[in-house]
Amino acid sequence: MPQQDTRAGLLYGVGAYTLWGLSPLYWHLLIGIPHWEITVHRVIWCAVAVGIVIGLTGRLANIIELLRDKRLLVTLMVTGILIAFNWGVMVWAAVNEQIVQAAFGYFINPLANIALGVLLLGEKLSVLRWVAVALGVAAVVVQTLALGAFPFIALALGLSFSFYGYFRKTANIGGLDGVFVEAMLLLPFGLFLVVYWQANSQATFLNENPYTDILLILCGPVTAVPLILFSTAAKQVRLSTLGFLQYIGPTIGLVVAVYVFGEEFALVHTMTFGCVWGALLLLAFDRKRRLKPPQAPPRKSLPQKSPPQKSPPQKS
């Protein structure tokens, strides 16, 4: 991880999270197509798009060498399923006008990471972090009681991405290389489903109009481009900077939901998002406090010895 952020790295990071925040605008164009069919095409065409980049950069041989590790293969299969599930839920949220709840899910993602750290790794939390987690739980409870429905979409997105990050940390492979392997491992299942749907006249692809077909093919670049930008940014900016940039995506998504698609943002949303934003501020403060180097105690000044006084010369 670099010690200092580069200007190019910051631009790549901002670009990645901006595209993720704007992605509901694209998924909204695919309303009417089953969301799981859209997700399958995301996997297939993402594998193609990322595969082209991997081939052009000459990294395929290195990836094949890494995949001799069977444990790595199993881990990437698990992470591939998790990220495909995350993609599917996000598409469902976009086409069903639930982007506010999706944004809520990505905002609580850091709190979900902390919970996983406690439950799976036995990590100890500071008082501030316990308060932050309590605020996150309160936000979920308030939204459930006020709206009369459990925020399944938010928790599905937040937890699936947290588990994805947890397992990817154990995989000794680069970000973009890992996404390529994940997509390639899922590719046979995706192709099987497309062929099955075609054989049973259940497929939208190639059966509607060229415009729809092009939109489904472009799911690949729409998925791959921000991943490529993020992978590039991760090599040029610090982890703490990436942690700050990650809130660009759900913030833009929230603006798109309310001001473009007209989703409701009622008082209960203000309360729940306020709890989560307060929790995130506590986490940021706690992190800054931990990273602050301890101040050395002031050095005690030693008493200075006065120079010996010369005795006046005696007269003989």
Please give the tally of structural domains in the chain: 1
Contacts of 115 (CB under 8 A, 6+ apart): 133, 162
What pLDDT, on the 0 to 100 scale, is given for residue 316?
38
pLDDT for 141 beyond 90: no
DSSP label at residue 209: -
315 within domain boundaries: no
46 within domain boundaries: yes
Q: Is 147 left (phi over 0), alpha (psi -120 to 50) or beta?
A: alpha
305 within domain boundaries: no
For the chain, give the mean pLDDT.
Answer: 86
What pLDDT, on the 0 to 100 scale, is given for residue 132?
85
**Residue 236, φ and ψ in degrees, nearest 5:** -120, -5
303 within domain boundaries: no
Portion of the chain with pLDDT greater than 90, in percent: 47
Domain holding 229, by residue range, is 7-291
| Residue 73 tokens, joined | 């293969």
Please spell the DSSP secondary structure of 110-163, one letter per residue. HHHHHHHHHHHH-----HHHHHHHHHHHHHHHHHHHHHSS--HHHHHHHHHHHH
The count of C-alpha atoms lying within 13 angstroms of the C-alpha of 43, restricted to the half-sphere facing its C-beta, is 29
pLDDT tens for 1-35 read 566 788 898 999 999 999 999 999 999 999 999 99
Q: Is 126 left (phi over 0), alpha (psi -120 to 50) or beta?
A: beta
Q: Residue 102: which pLDDT band, with cuts at 50, 70 and 90?
A: very high
314 within domain boundaries: no
For range 295-311, the mean pLDDT? 56
223 within domain boundaries: yes
**How far apart are the C-alpha atoms of 297 and 292, rounded to whole Å?**
15
256 within domain boundaries: yes
The more confidently predicted of residues 130 and 291 is 130
What pLDDT, on the 0 to 100 scale, is given for residue 296?
53
50 within domain boundaries: yes
pLDDT tens for 235-290 read 888 776 787 888 899 999 999 999 999 999 988 888 888 988 898 888 888 877 76
